[in-house]
Amino acid sequence: MAAACRPITGALSTPALASASTGTAGTLVPVSRDLRIGLLGAAAIAPSALIKPARLMPRVTVTAVAARDRQRAETFARKHGVPVVHADYEALLADPQVDAVYVPLPNGLHAEWTLKALEAGKHVLCEKPFAANRAEAERVADAADAAFERSGLVVMEAFHYRHHSLAERMRAIVAGGELGKLRHVEAEVCFPLPRLSDIRYDYALAGGATMDAGCYAVHVARLLGNGDPAVISARMLTLRKDPRIDRAMSAELEFPDGVTGRVRASMWSRRVLSIRARAVGSGGELSVTNFLMPQLYHRLTIRAPRGGGGRTVRHERVPRNPSSYACQLEAFAAAVLDGGPVLTSARDAVTNMGVLDSIYRASGLPLRGESKDQAAAG
């Protein structure tokens, strides 16, 4: 498996054995020979993101699950062979047979339960987006830094695509100068979600297209742009029933050194399905289709001018398997058990959430979780 899960160096990475704030070594918390993971919530993504990949890994076991509805958790456990069902999330966090937790709860609950997991002494793999906004993400990152210093706890944001070899190949092409001097990057994640009652359209749970799909587009743009962008402008389409919720968003970015960028996200618009990334340099252009789920299908194309006129076109494929989810879980286990690098750290999440906040501000929409933050400040 490790041969195809190779994105160990490069942008947006933090060594697990170095504190993100001080660079000093932490003391690893004792972990059993296997990494025993508990699941907070019987979410639909959990089988793909955790259950199936764990079956491929001798050092990882899924030992417990809890959900708001005990019956739902029991049904999930029977279907997927999870041995322990806890009455609630708190009981799972108190289980000494659980070393780490996977948090696939609604966006607005990510920060709360990551903090509680750290307080309980658990490593955390938290679904994206990491929090409702940058301020919330920073509070979690501060707690993650302290937990690492205290007991070596690892916190990782679940941007699974970043752990697949396709993402590393994309980064290497741009960073290695194959396209010449970088001028422009683009990324878009658009998919149809016509059921407007879905929690991803719920403002109270930090919903919106920018949160659910745009977080990926921004992360990929940062990966290719090799820096953190300023948001120049943003345009949105909103729900009629709740104009605070964006069903589609586009934003213009500017990176250091004058590199321009554009990101698009949609859960319901004319752009029904499009998952792609593009980088344009002085000497060529990279385009990638389906960077998000490359195990299903992907295409990487490099176009470059040819002497005497015309251009060369080269297509590449990387191994589709292991899946991006398997690569992510392998990286998480390696960070916890071996002190391996964390490509999608809590500190990186703060930066990514900051760009999302800037997009919302530029579009005129309120930040997610804003009223909760105001209440906490008061």
Q: What is the pLDDT of residues 357-374, one digit of tens each?
A: 999 999 999 999 986 555
Answer for the pair 229, 351: CB distance below 8 angstroms, yes or no.
Answer: no
Any long-range contacts for 203-207 (C-beta under 8 Å, 24+ apart)? 203/242, 203/244, 203/245, 203/368, 204/108, 205/106, 205/107, 205/108, 205/109, 206/106, 206/107, 206/108, 206/129, 206/131, 206/132, 206/133, 206/368, 206/369, 207/106, 207/107, 207/108, 207/245, 207/368
Q: How far apart are CA 305 and CA 8, in angstroms?
A: 31
Give the pLDDT of residue 339: 96
Give the pLDDT of residue 309: 75
Least confident of 20-24, 130-134, 212-216, 241-245: 20-24
Q: How far apart are CA 100 and CA 153, in angstroms?
A: 9
pLDDT, average across residues 153-170: 98
pLDDT, average across residues 207-225: 98
Residue 311 phi, psi dihedral angles, 5° rounding? -155, 155
Give the pLDDT of residue 113: 98
The CB-side HSE value for 6 (13 A sphere, CA atoms) comes to 13
The answer to whether the Cα torsion of 215, 217, 218, 219 is positive or negative is positive
User: Could you tell me the pLDDT band of residue 33, with boundaries at 50, 70 and 90?
Assistant: confident
Which regions of the chain carry the CATH code 3.40.50.720? 14-158+325-344
- 307: pLDDT strictly greater than 70: yes
Q: What is the pLDDT of residues 41-89, one digit of tens each?
A: 999 999 999 999 999 999 999 999 999 999 999 999 999 999 999 999 9
Residue 14 phi, psi dihedral angles, 5° rounding? -135, 130
pLDDT, average across residues 325-344: 98
Catalytic residue among 79, 116, 122, 128: 128
Q: What is the pLDDT of residues 234-284, one digit of tens each?
A: 999 999 999 999 999 999 999 999 999 999 999 999 888 999 999 999 999
Give the pLDDT of residue 14: 54
- 27: pLDDT strictly greater than 60: no
Fold of 162-322+355-363: Dihydrodipicolinate Reductase; domain 2 (3.30.360)
User: Could you tell me the pLDDT band of residue 141, with boundaries at 50, 70 and 90?
Assistant: very high
Token pair recorded at residue 6? 């190779």
Answer for the pair 58, 69: CB distance below 8 angstroms, yes or no.
Answer: no
Give the pLDDT of residue 5: 78
- 6: pLDDT strictly greater than 60: no
Q: How far apart are CA 185 and CA 204, in angstroms?
A: 32
Give the pLDDT of residue 32: 54
- 130: pLDDT strictly greater than 50: yes
Answer for the pair 367, 360: CB distance below 8 angstroms, yes or no.
Answer: yes
Fold of 14-158+325-344: Rossmann fold (3.40.50)
Residue 287 phi, psi dihedral angles, 5° rounding? -135, 140
Answer for the pair 51, 62: CB distance below 8 angstroms, yes or no.
Answer: yes
First to last CA, the chain: 50
Which regions of the chain carry the CATH code 3.30.360.10? 162-322+355-363
Give the pLDDT of residue 341: 97
Q: What is the pLDDT of residues 178-215, one digit of tens each?
A: 999 999 999 999 999 999 999 999 999 999 999 999 99
Give the pLDDT of residue 54: 98
User: Is residue 116 among the annotated active site residues?
Assistant: no
Measure the CA dihedral 366/370/374/376, to 10°: 180
Average per-residue pLDDT in the chain? Answer: 91
Give the pLDDT of residue 31: 56
Please tell me the chain's helix, strand, coil percentages from 3-state DSSP, rounded to the nearest 5.
Answer: 35, 25, 40
Q: How far apart are CA 101 and CA 39, in angstroms?
A: 6
